[in-house]
Chains A and B, each alone.
Chain A
Amino acid sequence: MASKQQIKNLKFIFEPKSIALVGASPTPNKVSNVIFKSLTEGNFQGEFYPVNPKYQEITGIKCYPSISSIKKKIDCLMIATPAQTVPMILQECARLKIKGVVLVTAGFSEAGEEGTKLERQIKEICDENEIALIGPNCLGTLNPSTGADSIFLPMHKLERPKPGNIAFITQSGAVGSTIIDVAAYHGIGISKFISYGNATVLDEVDLLEYLEKDNKTKTIVVYIEGARRGREFFEAMKRINKKKPIIALKAGKFSRSAAAAKSHTGNIAGSYLAYNAAFRQAKVIEAEGLEDLFDFMKIFSQPLAKGKRVGIITNGGGMGVLTADAVDQMGLEFAEFSAEAKVKLKTILPSFGNVANPLDLIAEADGEKYEKGIEIMMDDPAIDALFIITLFQTPPMDERVLNVLIKASDDHRKPIACIMLGGAYTTNYQRYLDKYKVPSYNSPIAAVKAMKKFIEYSRFREPKR
């Protein structure tokens, strides 16, 4: 648990004008070399001071023998030196009034008694001097819009996402790194990434409070194994989720402790049940696994749905039926198109076609038909959300359809979820759509599940609509 000032001081980590890297190294693949490279080869525009008494310079960049020898204001200090050196470095840090520190080094409380002692020292120094410290034993932090990057995995192996409005906080570095790598691949933009490791100074509650006020962050994704302050974690989620959707993945659901329970309740209520209760009570969107996490993330940057009546448009009957099954199974409603929409829709269907939901444009559908169909459905007040199924295997389906989907996604009147499934041709198109933040799914069930979560959240946010 950190002070308000320490939480505020996180700005020095995410928006630093200057960064010093203690333990900077020219040796390839060393943690401190990876960070060195990210800061020098990435898009960080501020001042950068590598620190290591062993070197005069590293790849042409001046290297300082100590932090105090820099003699310039330092906003953020990144530390990648062995655990036992850290308290001394932090004392120096305090003396120089450096307020932001990322400590990626491992070997603290997770490593035994000696490490626990060091960790306690770290906390004391930081709390006394209002230093915001992330870590230790973490993967690092990233703000793509400033290039402040302390992730110690190389950029060519772990792609950095573009700037966006989703923030990640993760207790596990490994899970966190995979998430942002995949997010980057799918074109998902992020505002902040925080792997917080042992949470010695700043824990998940503090980080949530920071993100609550961070105007770049619109959605918060949390990967958690065990909260340190359950009650406060719950209260923070409950408060923040009313303004910014929180998507949470809880790992470590299995528990053995139930065996010792004295009652039926104790027996059936493992530690996970409390998390589940907390999420439900706070209306936090709980992901069951990593797949959910990505599926949900994609859909949440859209305008809130006004209701749960969905329209489906497709060029393949069967895929429409599968989607309709999922809609029914998950308790969403089929929209009954308005009379006006029905008349208009009739004009884009073949003479034998039926205006029904799902609307089947059949295999002759092309970009133009989709464009008209989607437009009519966007205009129809009887529809709250749209599933757009595009099977690219038919001859008339080409890149013009992509522009229609991008337009639909930019329309911002109703949330959409696109469904497409196929081989290389379709996958290429899907990657293209990713770049334009069009939420697309490979399966009706995944799309409908994500939409259902979004509609539930929309209703929570705006119950009267």
Chain B
Amino acid sequence: MTIVRDFQLLKKHGFGLLPYEIAKNGSEAKKIARKIGYPVAMKVVSSEIEHKSDIGGVKIKIRNDEALEVAYADIMHNVKGKKIDGIMIQKMARKGVELIVGGKKDAQFGHMIVLGLGGIYVEIFRDISARLCPVNRTDIEEMIAELKSHPLLDGARGQKPINKKALEDVVLRMCKFMHDEEITEMDLNPIIFDEKGYDIVDARFSK
């Protein structure tokens, strides 16, 4: 399971990840959810599925055993015919601003970092800014300022501003991670920030 391997490597490099485990069946799912503590999110784990939420492979805000049973059956129905490795039961992420922090190795310029408004609208709004690695905190401040959606990060509509220091740390960590592990492309998407810190909901990378 690439996702487990990926998550473990990220953890080793100091990225803060939400507690999760992979369930092979319904009763395992329940056991894990109780251990992690409700509410949880459920996500199908399959190398055959690119956009999990598009086909109904993701259920969020599961609050109890009953809801989990229904959700489990639902996902299984939705992904029928695909080869799956299990269902990831993950602690429900905090509420906050959904960002993408990505990176890639450009053929000409080497490793670079991309910051943007994350979640399912990444490709639609393309509200992104980029810098070449290595970056410093000033570079990251400028990246944030360049986003059209930066007022969201500063606390629009009565929200508290996100913890920018935590965001800077993630970006700096990612530069180092990509360099050390020779990453060619990677996403932390979404990574959700609030005034305290962040939760990485999904991550993928390739070498």
User: Taking the complex as formed, is A185 at the interface, i.e. its CB lies under 8 A from any CB of chain B?
Assistant: no
User: Taking the complex as formed, is B52 at the interface, i.e. its CB lies under 8 A from any CB of chain A?
Assistant: no
Smallest beta-carbon distance B122→chain A, Å: 5
User: Taking the complex as formed, is A406 at the interface, i.e. its CB lies under 8 A from any CB of chain B?
Assistant: no
Give every chain B residue within 8 A of A266 (Cβ-Cβ).
104, 185
Q: Which A233-285 residues have a C-beta within 8 angstroms of B?
A: 233-234, 261-269, 271, 273-278, 280-281
User: Taking the complex as formed, is B18 at the interface, i.e. its CB lies under 8 A from any CB of chain A?
Assistant: no
Q: Is the CB of A276 within 8 A of B130?
A: yes
User: Taking the complex as formed, is B164 at the interface, i.e. its CB lies under 8 A from any CB of chain A?
Assistant: no
Q: Is the CB of B109 within 8 A of A262?
A: no
User: Taking the complex as formed, is B189 at the interface, i.e. its CB lies under 8 A from any CB of chain A?
Assistant: yes
Give every chain A residue within 8 A of B103 (Cβ-Cβ).
265
User: Taking the complex as formed, is A402 at the interface, i.e. its CB lies under 8 A from any CB of chain B?
Assistant: no
Give every chain A residue within 8 A of B123 (Cβ-Cβ).
264, 267-268
Interface class of chain B by DSSP: strand
Interface residues in chain A, defined as those with a beta carbon under 8 Å from any beta carbon in chain B: 226-227, 229-231, 233-234, 261-269, 271, 273-278, 280-281
A230 to B106, CA, bound (A): 9
Given A273-B130, A281-B131, do A264 and B102 touch, yes or no (CB 8 Å)?
yes
Interchain CB contact (< 8 A) of B132 among A227, A229, A262, A278: A278
A15 to B129, CA, bound (A): 43
Give every chain B residue within 8 A of A264 (Cβ-Cβ).
100, 102, 122-123, 187, 189
Indicate the member of B108, B112, B116, B146 with the most A CB atoms within 10 Å: B108
User: Taking the complex as formed, is B8 at the interface, i.e. its CB lies under 8 A from any CB of chain A?
Assistant: no
A265 to B106, CA, bound (A): 11
Q: Is the CB of B114 within 8 A of A268?
A: yes
Interface residues in chain B, defined as those with a beta carbon under 8 Å from any beta carbon in chain A: 100, 102-104, 106-110, 112, 114, 116, 122-123, 126, 128-132, 135, 139, 142, 146, 185-187, 189, 204-206
A276 to B146, CA, bound (A): 12
Given A263-B206, A278-B109, do A269 and B189 touch, yes or no (CB 8 Å)?
no
Given A263-B204, A265-B114, A281-B139, do A234 and B109 touch, yes or no (CB 8 Å)?
yes
Q: Is the CB of A265 within 8 A of B108?
A: no
Name which residue of chain A comes closest to B113, CB basis.
Answer: A277
Q: Is the CB of B187 within 8 A of A265?
A: yes
Interchain CB contact (< 8 A) of B108 among A230, A263, A268: A230
What are 13 A-B pairs with beta-carbon distances under 8 A?
Answer: A230-B106, A234-B132, A262-B185, A263-B185, A263-B206, A264-B122, A267-B123, A268-B102, A269-B106, A271-B108, A274-B130, A280-B130, A281-B132
Q: Is the CB of A268 within 8 A of B109?
A: no
Q: Is the CB of A268 within 8 A of B128?
A: yes
Smallest beta-carbon distance A330→chain B, Å: 15
Q: Is the CB of B185 within 8 A of A268?
A: no
Indicate the member of B102, B129, B146, B189 with the most A CB atoms within 10 Å: B102
Instruction: Give the number of A-B contacts (CB < 8 Å).
Output: 91
A234 to B130, CA, bound (A): 14
Indicate the member of A229, A262, A264 with the most B CB atoms within 10 Å: A264
Name which residue of chain A comes closest to B125, CB basis.
Answer: A268
Given A230-B108, A230-B109, do A265 and B102 touch, yes or no (CB 8 Å)?
yes
Interchain CB contact (< 8 A) of A230 among B110, B128, B142, B204: B110
Give every chain A residue within 8 A of B205 (Cβ-Cβ).
263
Smallest beta-carbon distance A251→chain B, Å: 15
Interchain CB contact (< 8 A) of A263 among B106, B139, B186: B186
Interchain CB contact (< 8 A) of B128 among A233, A273, A280: A273
A264 to B189, CA, bound (A): 8
Interchain CB contact (< 8 A) of B109 among A231, A261, A280: A231
Interchain CB contact (< 8 A) of A262 among B100, B135, B146, B206: B206
Give every chain A residue within 8 A of B109 (Cβ-Cβ).
230-231, 234, 274-275, 277-278
Q: Is the CB of B110 within 8 A of A231?
A: yes
Give every chain A residue within 8 A of B186 (Cβ-Cβ).
263, 265
Name which residue of chain B comes closest to A229, CB basis.
Answer: B108
Smallest beta-carbon distance B83→chain A, Å: 19
A262 to B185, CA, bound (A): 7
A233 to B107, CA, bound (A): 13
Interchain CB contact (< 8 A) of A277 among B131, B185, B206: B131
Give every chain A residue within 8 A of B122 (Cβ-Cβ).
264, 267-268
Given A226-B108, A230-B108, do A268 and B126 touch, yes or no (CB 8 Å)?
yes
Q: Is the CB of B102 within 8 A of A269?
A: yes
Q: Is the CB of B108 within 8 A of A269?
A: no
Given A263-B102, A268-B116, do A280 and B108 touch, yes or no (CB 8 Å)?
no
Q: Is the CB of B107 within 8 A of A277?
A: no
